[in-house]
Amino acid sequence: MSGAASSALPDGPERGPLRDGVEPRAGVERGALPEGAATPATSDSPGAPAGGRTAPVRPAGRTGLRTRAARVAGAAAGTASRLLGRGAGEVVAGKVVLRLAPRAVHELAGERVAAVVSATNGKTTTTRLLTAALAARPAGRGVVSNGGGANMRAGIVTALTSGPGDAVLEVDEMHLSGLLPELAPRVVVLMNLSRDQLDRTAETRQLAAGWRTALAGLDASAEQGRGVVVANADDPLVVWAASSAPRVVWVSVGASWTADARSCPRCEQLLTLPGDPEDDRDATAAAEAAPAGAVPGDPSPAGGWRCPSCSLSRPTPSVVLEGDVARELDAGTAGEQQRTAAGHPVRLALPGQANRRNAVMAAAAARELGLDLGSALAAMVDVGDVAGRYAWLRAEGVRFWLLLAKNPAGWVENFDVMGASDRPLLLAINAQGADGRDTSWIYDVPFERLVGRRVVVAGERAADLSLRLAVAGVEHQRVPGLREALRAARALGAPGSGPEPGGPPAEEVDVVGNYTAFQQLRVLAAQEGAR
C-alpha cells in the first residue's frame, strides 16, 4: 500500500531528498565538503547559480517577462496536478517555474522575505506560528508561506508566486546556505541541528559549517533590520554557525537533544554542560542559572554550556523561555533582575514544551519585524494542527492522535508531548527516500521510557523497531500493516486489557510515525472520511 498512499499525500508530495526530485546524490556531494567551503545546496535545480555565489542578472524585486511567463505555466501545472489528485501541486508548479526561469527565486523574493526558518526539528511549526503572528498585524500586508512543508527551492518558488505580501519561508537545513543570498531575508531563524536522515544529513557539524559560511555573508548594514539572525543560544552547533553573522539576537529556549553537540563545534573538545562532573562551577549557581521551567529529565544545557578549551560558550540571551513564560532581558541583566523582568505567558493550542520553544523563537523573530513579544505570542494561541501534526483522526474504528517524529530529537520531543498518556501506543517506522533508508538511529532513541505502555509496532521497519523495543525491555506486538496495527492497538484498549475503569476511552490510541508512515496514516483517515 505504501506506493499508492505516498503518491496521494494530503498536502503535497514527499518530503526530504525526493521532494524536489533530488535523488540522494545531494547527500553524497555534500558529504565531501571541506570546512568553510560554500555549500553546493543550490545544485537542487537546473540552472541555479552554483553555490549561491553567482550574482543574479536582474535586480531583485523586478520580475522579468521570462519569470512572469514561467509563473503562468507553473500555476497551470499545479492546477493540473491537483485535478489529477497527485497532491497539492506545490512542488510541480515550482519545478515548472524554475525550468523556465532558473533565477526566479531572486526575482520573486525581491525585498519581501520577512523571515526564513531553518532547523532539524520544528521548522514547519515555527514557520506557521510566525506566519500567524505577522498575519495578525492590524494594518499589515498579507503573508505568504510554504506552510505545507515544501521547503526546498521548488516549494519556495511556489510560495513566492502564491500572492503579494511578506513571505515567511521554511527552508530545508541543507538548502539554507545556497538560498540565503537569493532570498535576502530580514530575519533568519535558526533553532537546532541534530542527526536526521542518516544517509543525508548525518554530519551536523558539516551542515553547521555551511551555515556559518553563508551567514557570514549576510549584510546587516545594508538596511536597518535586514539580515538579522535569531538563534537558539542553547544549541552549541547553532551558536557556532550563527556567531559568524554580523548581527545575532540570542534566544534561550533550551534544547531537548544535545547528544549531537557534545563536542565543541570549533575545537572538538568535549563541552561542559551544567551538572557535568567536569563542571567546576558552583552547583547551586548552575541550578539557579537553569531555566525555572526545566523539566525533569530534560538534558537542556540552558544553564550555560561552555568549551573548557576554546572560548566558545553559551551567549547571553535577550529573550528566554522559563517553563511556560517568555521574558525579554536587557543586556547585562542577570539573576534577580532576570526573574523580575516582565513575563509573557506562552499558551498554545499546540502541546508540549517543544512547541513552546518553537513559539518563543517565532515571537523573537516577530519582535525583529516590529511586533512586541506579547502580541506575537497572543496571535499564536489558536494555531492547532500544523500540516497534520497533532491532529485527531479516525480509521479502522480507532480515534487516534497522530504525532510525527523523524529523528531521535523528534522522538524525545514526542515523548514529552505525550506526557503521562495511558492510551495504547502505535509506533510506525518506514524507510523510504523521504524517511532516509538507514534507520539505525532507533538505537539512539530512549525507548526505555515506554516501559509499561501498551505498544504495537508497525511499518516497513517493524522488525527492526521490534528488536529495538525488546532491547529496551518494552513489551509490544508487531503488526506490520498499518490498518491491522490500528485494530491491534484498539484491541489493547478494550475493557479488561487495560487499567480500567477510569482509563482513557477504549477506542483512543496515540500514534507516532516517521515521515511516510505519518503521511500514510493521514491518507488512511482521509480515505475513510471520504467513504
Q: Which is nearer to Zn ion, 246 or 308 (CB)?
A: 308
Q: How far apart are CA 64 and CA 134, in angstroms?
A: 28
Quote the least distance from Cβ 528 to Zn ion, whole Å.
54
Piece of the chain touching Zn ion by CB under 5 A; list 89-97, 269-277, 388-396, 419-427: 269-277
Q: How far apart are CA 19 and CA 263, in angstroms?
A: 32
What is the residue type of 331?
A
Q: How far apart are CA 143 and CA 276, in angstroms?
A: 45
Q: How far apart are CA 505 and CA 388, in angstroms?
A: 22
Which residues partner with 478 through β-bridges? 457
- H/E segment holding residue 488: helix 482-492
Neighbours of 445 (CB within 10 A): 22
Quote the least distance from Cβ 36 to Zn ion, whole Å.
17
Residues 226-265 as x/- pattern, contact with Zn ion by CB under 5 A: --------------------------------------x-
How long is the chain?
531
Verify binding: residue 1, Zn ion, rule CB under 5 A: no
Quote the least distance from Cβ 250 to Zn ion, whole Å.
18
Quote the least distance from Cβ 244 to Zn ion, whole Å.
15
Q: Which is nearer to Zn ion, 236 or 513 (CB)?
A: 236
Residues 59-88 as x/- pattern, contact with Zn ion by CB under 5 A: ------------------------------
Within 452-491, which residues bind Zn ion (CB under 5 A)?
Answer: none
Q: In which residue are the cell numbers 549576510 written?
A: 218
Q: Which is nearer to Zn ion, 309 or 333 (CB)?
A: 309
Using the rule CB under 5 A, which residue among 66, 266, 394, 483 binds Zn ion? 266
Cis preceding-peptide flag for 181 (omega within 30 of 0): no
Quote the least distance from Cβ 10 to Zn ion, whole Å.
45
Q: How far apart are CA 259 and CA 273, in angstroms?
A: 11
Residue 531 grid coordinates: 467513504
Q: Which is nearer to Zn ion, 259 or 349 (CB)?
A: 259
Quote the least distance from Cβ 309 to Zn ion, whole Å.
5
Q: Which is nearer to Zn ion, 72 or 310 (CB)?
A: 310
Q: Which is nearer to Zn ion, 240 or 390 (CB)?
A: 240
Q: How far apart are CA 346 and CA 24, in angstroms?
A: 39
Quote the least distance from Cβ 310 to Zn ion, whole Å.
3
How many residues of this chain interact with Zn ion, rule: CB under 5 A? 8
DSSP 41: G
DSSP 371: -
Using the rule CB under 5 A, which residue among 28, 69, 267, 349 binds Zn ion? 267
Quote the least distance from Cβ 258 to Zn ion, whole Å.
15
Residues 279-318 as x/- pattern, contact with Zn ion by CB under 5 A: ----------------------------x-xx-x------
Which residues partner with 113 through β-bridges? 167
Q: Which is nearer to Zn ion, 148 or 265 (CB)?
A: 265
Quote the least distance from Cβ 257 to Zn ion, whole Å.
20
Residue 31 grid coordinates: 558529504
Quote the least distance from Cβ 80 to Zn ion, whole Å.
53
Find, among 394, 372, 239, the residue nearest to 301 by Cα: 239
Neighbours of 46 (CB within 10 A): 9
Q: How far apart are CA 78 and CA 86, in angstroms?
A: 10
Q: Which is nearer to Zn ion, 310 or 494 (CB)?
A: 310
Within 355-414, which residues bind Zn ion (CB under 5 A)?
Answer: none
3-state secondary structure of 477: strand
Q: Which is nearer to Zn ion, 235 or 460 (CB)?
A: 235
Piece of the chain touching Zn ion by CB under 5 A; list 268-276, 324-332, 404-412, 472-480: 268-276
CA dihedral over 429, 434, 437, 440, signed as positive or negative = negative
Proportion of the chain in helix, strand, coil states, percent, rounded to 5: 40, 15, 50
**Interface residues with Zn ion (CB under 5 A)?**
264, 266-267, 269, 307, 309-310, 312
